[in-house]
Structure 1
Amino acid sequence: MAEPKGGPLASRIDHLFKAVRPKGREYSYDEVARGCEALTSGTFSKTYVWQLRTGQRDNPTKRHLEALAAFFGVPVAYFFDDQVVDDVNSQLALAAALRDSDVRDIALRALHMDTATRQSLARIVHEISRMQQSRPDPADPDSGPDAQT
């Protein structure tokens, strides 16, 4: 994950905003602040949430980190441990992929296949993915055979 100006904490909070989207859009700062307030019974302003996300503030209290972790459904260690970040981000990416109805349909159908058939399907999907990555994007004029290097 690329580090923005705000450092690792800001980067991780920003990633949670982008990845945890149960309403199909990013939470607003006000929604996060109100949710965190409800979880802690303390004060939590939308400005403070924005400051943490952008790196304007980078030393939150334990209570604030616990509230953010609870709100976004991640362990508090997400803000400190790179291995936890990798694990959680993988789970978030999977959850995001499963929100796509086509991906969900393929996954549900694969559940009813035997192991050999699922392995064949995985190889087919891998090969198609590899082929798509190697061909030029028709929407990108700089990726075709006439593109200048």
Structure 2
Amino acid sequence: MSFAEVLDELCGDWTNVALAAEVNRRGGEIGHGYIAQLRRGRKDNPTRRTIEDLAGALGVHPACFVGGRRELRPGERPGWRPAALRSLFEGSPEDVAEAIGSISGSYIRELLTGVSDNPRLRHILGLAEYFGVPPAYFFDEELEVDQGELAALRELGVIEFATRLAERAPHLTPKTRSAAIRAVTEALRTKEGERWDFGAPE
């Protein structure tokens, strides 16, 4: 589901005016017009803080906006987890930024050091795709990733390949996409330590 679809479903009987008032009452800052645009999909790149403010007002976990769980545990106060990003990081921010395309290396450095803590939705989705983790991982401490498995996928070139495939997916035929999936499957079946080179995109 898109962000707009999730938000619209969660809103239920909430009017945009009432939801904006609840967000602002809780210390956030949002206008009812912006909520209306988010619900209709006319705006689709909210900040992390906006996602958390809406989740708090609606009584749900912010991870639900990016495919994660909806329910909150008793006493839970979820939010952006900078340590989750740091735990995944290898290589230079500039290399990661170049692969993602929608974020700069300097901004990634700010996220890693805590200078900035309010990435937009596209930044979160791009980082999750690059590192091969669910986007909800950056909000939900119950989600863990196997660092050994991630390292193995990087060594095989699977994460790099998946990132390139996602960039080109709109231009690929179903036959080509199927062939790509088979290539990944075969890569995962190789003996430990064998490296696959998927080559550069044309």
TM-score bin (small chain): 0.3 to 0.5
| Structure with the higher helix share, 1 or 2 | 1
TM-score where L is the length of structure 1:
0.46
